[in-house]
Amino acid sequence: MKFLDRLKNTRKSLGFTQLDIAEHVGISKAAVSRWELGYSCPSGEVLHLLAEKLQCTVNYLLSGEDDICNNVTFLRFYYETATTGIAGVRWEENIKNVPLPKAVVEAQGQEEKLYCVKVQGVSMNPVLRDGSVVAFNTQKKSIKDGFMYVIKQDNFLRVKLLIEAPDRIIIRSYNQEFEDEVISKKSRADFHVLGQVFWYVSSIGK
């Protein structure tokens, strides 16, 4: 990853906007935008203030060699070779790791069982907009009503709310324009829960 990727990913994982960064280091929002577009790079005291705000080291921001941010852990994007088509989720080919708050990751247990996926589409608006990233725990597959899950259905990956009834599973979207889907427990061979979503960062969208 380049400086611009480390800056943008770490900023988003901590929930900061470009304006938050700008106000902390004493520059304009446009200047932060230029950093993230790769047009310029901070230096001196501004760079140290930036690292302070992002809770990481200057060396990490500049080179990535010091892969330590005090309160950040990096998770991998989920990859499933059997999936030939994507509906509701897409891979981010240019970014191999996603920074998350370390406390959030540690609360989930085994880090190697945690993955991220990037969401595509509008069915989960307004909570998850197109381009949002979710992290999920593959150890948590038991359905808790109203929680969000990454599922595999008919060889497609999706991010949905699930509700379990005695004889069926209801698949629900946040966007009320999309109707509930119902799957009978007797015929759920092509339906698999990959894991429960425990963190997300939502894109503002276009």
Domain ranges within the chain, ordered by starting residue: 3-69, 73-201
Instruction: List, for residues 69-110, the tens digit of each pLDDT value.
Output: 567 777 877 754 323 233 345 444 444 577 788 889 999 988
What's the predicted TM-score (pTM) here?
Answer: 0.64
* Class of domain 3-69 as given by CATH: mainly alpha
Give which of 79, 78, 77, 88 is closest to 153, Cα–Cα.
Answer: 88
Sort 94 into a burial class: Cβ within 10 Å, 0-12 / 13-18 / 19+: exposed
pLDDT digits (tens, 9 = 90+) for 111-154: 888 988 888 889 999 999 888 889 999 999 999 999 999 998 87
CATH of domain 73-201: 2.10.109.10
